[in-house]
Chains A and B, each alone.
Chain A
Amino acid sequence: MDGDWDDLRCDILILGGGGAGLMAALHAYDTDPRLDIVVVAKGLVGKSGCTRLVQGGFNAALDPRDSPELHFRDTLAGGQFLNDQDLAWTLVTEAPEIVRKLEAKIGCFFDRREDGQIHQKAFAGQSFDRTVHRGDLTGIEITSRLHDQLFARSMRILDETRAVELIHDRAGGRIAGALLLRQQTGTFVLARARVVLLATGGGPRMYTYSAPSLEKAGDGYAMAYRAGCDLIDMEMMQFHPTGLLAGASRLSGMVLEEGLRGAGAWLLNAQGERFMARYDPVRMERATRDVVARASYQEIMAGRGTPAGGVLLDASHLGAGFVARHFPGMVARCAEVGFDLTREPVEVVPTAHFHMGGVRIDVDCRTALPGLLVAGEDAGGVHGANRLGGNGVAESCVFGARAGRTAAQLCAVLAAVEPDAREAEQARDAALAPLRRDRGESPVRIRRELERVMWQHVGLVRDAAGLARALAAIEELEERAAGTAAPPGARWNLTWQQALDVRSLLLAARLTAAAASYRRESRGSHARSDFPERDDAHWLVHIHQAAGRAPWTEPVRLTRLRPSDLEARPAAAPQ
């Protein structure tokens, strides 16, 4: 392997083949079919990433009794006012049209009510049942139909190709392309594009228990940060309350969908108590995820967890027939690891699920760097301090569509510029380092240690001492990661890929821990035992981080709704 690269030229380079990437591809193409579009994914395009894993569904105010205003209030109440209100407003106002597009143009066949209209189910933290779904495995339908539509259009697809680094132009003022690594051949590609869209889906896989698809590693955060973007709200890490406990299997941490709690399932501790009564007696299991996940964690820490270290999700009182009919995917998943969800409690544990933080964008998905757009989970700001279930896939589809349109429009005005070959060489050499090393540590060991550190110190409840320990540990792991080795042979070399993943995971972890130690209050998903109160007077701010700069804050702009507006009328009425 000599490390040469192939050159590729295109108008729009889309990094990521999940909901955001695919929606962007379709919207860019249909805006101007002459554009040369390339879609790149680390996994198989349309089959990898977390949009595929969406279970519960997609929030949109479709019902005449519901409204984008109500959806907005719920989203801000859930996000505890840390949301960027322009982004959140865009989400809720465009989600209904995007659902109509998914159904009537892209062909997704969502479930219907008896009267033939689209069925919407109950999710937590919502004042109206507004979650559109296809059974309990909604993401399969959304991504498969989006993928089908690629076949009706002409664009280039690069499956199993990892974006390694964003590359600037020679002047350094804008993004001119990206260095890619094709897994099948083990060879590099230097792609030049007028516009690059980063849509790699974030991916908090640096915890002992985590939900995202296995290939995700925070690559997007790492690339954007190194390229000079600013990232916001990285301390805001959502833990889903009901990650399945499946022993030594990698299935552990995979989510049992929120619709179960929406439909009335209980959470019990090992003593059989419905413990949510102690934490949120009004909303109980239908409180927002931050509240429920933290309550479960506290039960476990107080010694009221199961022997395997979890709590119990019990849907049996809903009736075996009801559960089997409405949650067949969840029933099958539990059955595989020996639980009968229809008749008995299932062991669950809070699992790292979604990173609310990410790259700072505007409503058109532009970043501080010309030539670079970001959409989906790689972006920050939409969800504030806690994402509502059902708002994630809505975000990736709404903003993916917007990014596609923006990209097409930018192509009319942005000339193509040459990527800086020196920068690409450096990126390539850094990526090749583990492969060129004969001896070195296994990336897997480093990863396991990182997961433990993050789970222990940057998890559901944090404090200054733990966060300091975490930052020190991450620094040490970063040093060790600089010495990992992979066996020779660049083609489909999973160990090499793991080494590259660890590099991204460590950077994403560091940004998370640093922001967490900076925010000295508790809000949404970020709970500090040493600063247990929410403090609007001081902390209604985004924490920004950018390479070469100390973290700084900028106030949240309360352009549409203020916390006091909600006190007058609570957002999520209990049901």
Chain B
Amino acid sequence: MIFRVKRFDPTCDRRPSWRAYTVDVRPKMSVLDGLFWILEHADSTLSFRYSCRAGMCGSCAMVVNGREALACRLRLAHVAAPVHVEPLRSLPVIKDLVVDMTPFFEKYRAVDPFYRAEDPAVTGPAAAPAVVRPESRELVDLQLGCISCGACYSACPVVALNPEFLGPAALNRAYVLSADEREPAAGDRAAAILGDGGVHACHAVGNCVAACPVGINPLLSIQLLRKGATDR
């Protein structure tokens, strides 16, 4: 199977270039397995990021045949050849398929993504876990399992055009916290959520929904945050 991989080393290349490799594909291999095959058999200089290889860490998000995907979860049997593999969009490339996640996490940080307890010091005694009925957390449950892979960020056309926009993952986290009935000292997230880079910058294109590899609907979170703001 032909792989076409976008190669780029910003310290010495003027622009990215596509390199083709013929990968010896065996059953059940994923795109990530294909990249390892290239590394081990064809080109020992290829760079890509990985850790868990099971869709849990969110390290290997990239763009495959034009769409964001976790390389470890996309089976080669399900992709059309030649397979075009490129790094996530809207993030600076460090080398080849490895992007710098700093802007993504800076924006995530802007919503105060941490749960805030009354006494936040972890060294002090903890309160008993709150009593929460399963039905009252249904929405939180749906939106909770973000693996911060950056796929939604890469797929979002607003992120690409508006450098202020915090992006789907950060706003989804803000929503989850706002809907988390346990948080006693509800953080001061309104400024970030309603500011220039917040929910009002979203154009509701919905690419984030299709891009999310773990089935979260960030657009819904953004809409619920908006609604919450007008209801207030």
A interface residue numbers (CB < 8 A to B): 26-27, 30-31, 43-44, 47-49, 52-53, 97, 99-101, 103-107, 109-118, 134-135, 137, 139-141, 144-145, 148-149, 151-152, 159-160, 184, 213-215, 246-251, 254, 332-333, 336-338, 401, 405, 442, 444, 486-487, 489, 491-495
A151 touching B109 in the complex, CB below 8 Å, given contacts A43-B59, A251-B28 = yes
Report B128-163 residues with CB < 8 Å from chain A CB. Answer: 128-134, 137, 140, 144-148
Give the complex CA separation of A111 and B145 in angstroms.
13
Say whether B115 contacts A107, CB under 8 Å. Answer: yes
A-B contact count (CB 8 A): 205
Question: Could you tell me the distance between the alpha carbons of A555 and B144 in the complex, rounded to whole angstroms?
Answer: 47
Q: Contacting chain A: which of B14-22, B45-53, B199-207, B220-228?
A: B45-53
Distance, CA A210 to CA B118, complexed state (A): 42
Q: Is the CB of B230 closer than 8 A to any CB of chain A?
A: no
A118→B56 contact, CB < 8 A: no
Q: Are B73 and A489 in contact (CB under 8 A)?
A: no
* Contact B132–A112 (Cβ < 8 Å): yes
Report if A52-B44 is in contact (Cβ < 8 Å); known contacts: A100-B127, A151-B112.
no
A116 to B52, CA, bound (A): 32
Whether A495 contacts B44 by the Cβ 8 Å rule is: yes
Question: Quick check: is B117 within 8 A (CB to CB) of the other chain?
Answer: yes
A48 touches B122 (CB 8 A): no
Across the interface, which residues of A come within 8 angstroms of B125, CB to CB?
97
B90 at the interface (CB under 8 A from A): no
A100 in contact with B129 given A336-B73, A337-B28, A444-B40 (CB within 8 Å): yes
Contact check, B114 vs A152: say whether CB atoms are below 8 A apart: yes
Chain A residues with Cβ below 8 Å from B45 are 487, 489, 493, 495
| Complex CA–CA separation, A240 to B48 (angstroms) | 29
- Interface status of B57 (Cβ within 8 A of chain A): yes
Q: What chain B residues lie within 8 Å of A246 (beta carbons)?
A: 28
Most buried by A among B57, B113, B140: B57
Please determine whether B122 and A109 come into contact, CB atoms closer than 8 angstroms: no
Residues in B with CB closer than 8 Å to A134 are: 144
Chain A's closest residue to B28 (CB) is A247
Whether the pair A44, B51 counts as a contact (CB closer than 8 A) is: yes
Chain B positions within 8 Å of A52 at CB level: 51-52, 56-57
| Cα–Cα distance between A103 and B140 once the two chains are bound (Å) | 15
Which of B51, B55, B109, B116 gathers the greatest number of chain A CB atoms within 10 Å? B51
Complex-state Cα separation, A119 to B108, whole angstroms: 30
Name the contact of B39 in the complex, choosing from A135, A139, A494 (C-beta under 8 A). A494
Q: Would you give 28 A-B contacts (Cβ < 8 Å), ordered by A?
A: A52-B56, A53-B52, A104-B127, A105-B126, A114-B133, A116-B134, A117-B131, A134-B144, A144-B148, A145-B114, A148-B113, A148-B173, A151-B108, A151-B109, A152-B114, A213-B52, A248-B29, A249-B28, A250-B30, A250-B53, A251-B53, A251-B72, A336-B75, A337-B75, A492-B95, A492-B96, A494-B46, A495-B44
